[in-house]
Structure 1
């Protein structure tokens, strides 16, 4: 079971973001950023890649070298560490509000638990009290 932060928006669907390390972001950095709509992160990554190619070319260093491999692995670690936080920042900047932290097997399950929990709370408020 994993912990997910739930983000709710009055006009958009509920979103869940897993807490901690992101394996998909680690392994598929730029592709993951594109799929998740993290355009600033994606363009920054692409610009850094172009800058590295220009530097390697100017220094007449082969494009694939030990230092470049180290940089690529380091970037993958940054994506793995910060990926979920970047998603949370994206949701907050688009008007989502942090709603809850739910423990569940996956993000779909965490959203379902959040919706059911809110439904029960709403039903309890609507019941007449004697």
Structure 2
């Protein structure tokens, strides 16, 4: 079981974020940010890599330097990505609504909705699994 922070938009939309390390952000890097419409974060990573590619000659040492910078960028996304995502949601009008412990993000949203009463009383928030 993992802990998730649940964010709620005034329109009723819910999003969940698991604080801490993000494997998907680490593996996908700036493309992870683009999929979540975090354009600034994604472009920052792309520009950093492009600058290193342009400024460092691609000889043996240059390739090593580029690889190290690429690894550092991916580590930054893995470590800081969830925090960037929470900040992005807050900037889009979402508010932190709850913190729940659940096995996956979908279940976290369902648990938060059930405990906060964001659904009809007769509707099962967890559904049949």
Both structures adopt the same fold (TM-score exceeding 0.5)? yes
TM range (shorter): 0.7 to 0.9
Aligned residues: 120
TM-score by length of 2: 0.85
Gaps of 5+ in 1: 124-130
- Give the deviation of 1:61 after TM superposition: 3.5
Report which of the two has the higher share of helix: 1
Give the structure, 1 or 2, with the largest relative contact order (CA under 8 Å, sep 6 or more): 1
Gaps in structure 2 of 5+ consecutive residues: 122-129
CA distance in 1, matches of 2:71, 2:49: 13
Deviation for aligned residue 1:72: 0.9
| 8 Å CA contact retained: 1:8, 1:98 | yes
TM-score by length of 1: 0.84
1:82 aligned partner: 80
1:1-130 equivalences under 5 Å are 1-57=1-57, 61=59, 65-119=63-117
Runs of 4+ in structure 1 over 4 Å off: none
